[in-house]
Amino acid sequence: MINSTEIDYIKTGVQNYNTDDNITDIKMNLLYCYPNPFNSSLGIKFILPVPSKVQLIIFNNIGQCISRLEYPELQQGEHNLSYDFSFLSSGIYLIYLKTDQSVQKRLVTFIK
């Protein structure tokens, strides 16, 4: 028999959540890479709930680190970055965004 807490977890992926919590307690960044697929420049958009150190790391499809960008302290809020892939070959790349609060990953396709 499944209880209501298990059903809530299945539907939302969150267990024992409280709607009265302050929104800044959320430790998830929205990482949006656009357009995908793309042909030269990739836009990377994310939201920081609190000021944070940020690392943006790009890997190719065999796990080699192509680029590592570090930002010592970005302010709370929405951020937009752009990365030029024109010197790379076509393929699938992993965009890895790490903050003090979380890690987000996205696969993107570069087509020359």
The two structure tokens encoding residue 110: 């570069």
Architecture of domain 23-110: Sandwich (2.60)
CB 5 within 8 A of CB 14: no
pTM of the model: 0.72
Q: What percentage of the chain carries pLDDT values higher than 90?
A: 69
CB neighbours (10 Å) of residue 17? 11
pLDDT of 25 > 70? The answer is no
The two structure tokens encoding residue 52: 């944070």
Residue 44 and residue 94: Cα distance in Å, rounded? 12
Residue 91 and residue 54: Cα distance in Å, rounded? 25
Residue 75 and residue 50: Cα distance in Å, rounded? 7
The two structure tokens encoding residue 31: 């990482």
pLDDT digits (tens, 9 = 90+) for 28-57: 577 899 999 999 999 999 999 999 999 999
Top mean pLDDT of 21-25, 29-33, 103-107 is at 103-107
pLDDT digits (tens, 9 = 90+) for 4-14: 444 444 444 44
Mean pLDDT of the chain: 82
pLDDT at 27: 56
